[in-house]
Amino acid sequence: MRFPEKSLRVEHFGEPQLEFAFSQRSPHPKAGLFLYGPHAKAKKSREIGVGVVGTTDGIAHFRAWGRKLKSAVRVPPPGKGEKADRLHLADFPGLDEAFGISFEPDECSALSIPWKDIDRATRIVNLNEAVDKVARLYIDRVKQHLRNDERSVDVWILVLPEIVYERCRPQSKRTGLPMEKGEFTKRQKAKESVPLLAAMGAIIRQRRRFSRTFPISIAGSKLNSWRSRRRSWSVRRRLRRRFPQ
């Protein structure tokens, strides 16, 4: 295949210069934060309040991870099949040096949720209800803190156990798990026991008494249709006698 143009004109746009602390510039955001710090860097680092919600193991994992953020994190050596020069990676200088903020992982507001409650919520038959139940477990703990605790929290960290990722994704396969009946299943079952539907069940059981069989169909809470007005009138009279208001 031949193109009519002999050559293509290529224009290169250089990377824009980003400004960091002390009016220093660099085209690389990670390198700029590592060398100079954020643009609006204060003279003293700001202490922020952090709240963490999760299981006991999840809170412990977050605190261990938070301690590492307070110091420099080096890029790990290249593994098998990786290039020696990985320009998309850069050393992390630490939370204070990079962003001018700090927090104490061991002093953050920790709100614990029992693992068994999360496990039970992720096993609800209706997947949408299971996701909603897990989310409410975390939201309710945060609301409880806001009502009862005077400590202010600037950032909330929600630590989710692995079972939430495995069971609450769209089209998650939860085969082999003992499923739990949620509120949706209970409401559906409660609808079947209302007086009107119970009366219709009695109608279906008694229809053999009629000389000729005629269909009765139930749609929601109404009878769809009868074969004739005469039979409909006869059935209504029998219903009034059997189920007086």
Decide: 36 and 26 in contact? Cβ < 8 Å. yes
Domain boundary among 183, 203, 224: 183
Do 233 and 117 belong to one domain?
no
Instruction: Give the residue with greater pLDDT, 162 vs 182.
Output: 162
Report residue 122: phi and psi, to 5°.
Answer: -75, -10
Asked if the structure places residue 38 within a domain, the reply is: no
Whether residues 209 and 127 fall in one domain: no
Residue 158 covered by a domain: yes
Question: Do residues 174 and 229 share a domain?
Answer: no
What is the tens place of the pLDDT at every residue in 39-69?
Answer: 887 778 889 999 999 999 999 999 999 999 9
What are the tens digits of pLDDT across the range 177-187? 999 888 876 56
Which residue range is the domain that position 115 belongs to? 48-76+104-183
Q: How far apart are CA 212 and CA 198, in angstroms?
A: 23
Lowest mean pLDDT among 78-87, 156-165, 167-176, 224-233: 224-233
**Domain presence at residue 55:** yes
The answer to whether position 208 is within a domain reads: yes
Q: Are residues 171 and 230 in the same domain?
A: no
Residues 6+ apart with CB under 8 A from 149: 109
**Residue 108 in 3-state DSSP?**
coil
Residue 212 gets which letter from DSSP? S
Tell me whether residue 36 is in a domain. no
Are both 52 and 149 inside the same structural domain? yes
Structural domain tally of the chain? 2
What are 216-236's pLDDT values in tens digits? 444 433 444 544 555 666 666
Whether 118 and 53 share a structural domain: yes
Residues 58 and 138 in one domain: yes
Q: Tokens representing 193?
A: 């026991």
Asked whether residue 135 is domain-assigned, the answer is yes
Q: Say how far apart CA 129 and CA 167 lie, in whole Å.
A: 12
Residues 196 and 231 in one domain: yes
Asked which of 140, 161, 183 is the last residue of a domain, the reply is 183
Pair (137, 212) in one structural domain: no
Cα angle 72-73-78, degrees, rounded to a multiple of 5? 145
Q: Are 108 and 71 in a shared domain?
A: yes
Task: Check whether residue 174 and residue 199 sit in a common domain.
Answer: no
Q: Is residue 31 part of a domain?
A: no
Give me the amino acid identity at 107.
Answer: E
Task: Report the C-alpha gap between 242 and 226 in whole angstroms.
Answer: 19
Phi and psi, residue 18, nearest 5°:
-100, 140
The reply to whether 70 and 178 lie within a common domain is yes
State which of 138, 160, 183 marks the end of a domain: 183
User: pTM above 0.75?
Assistant: no
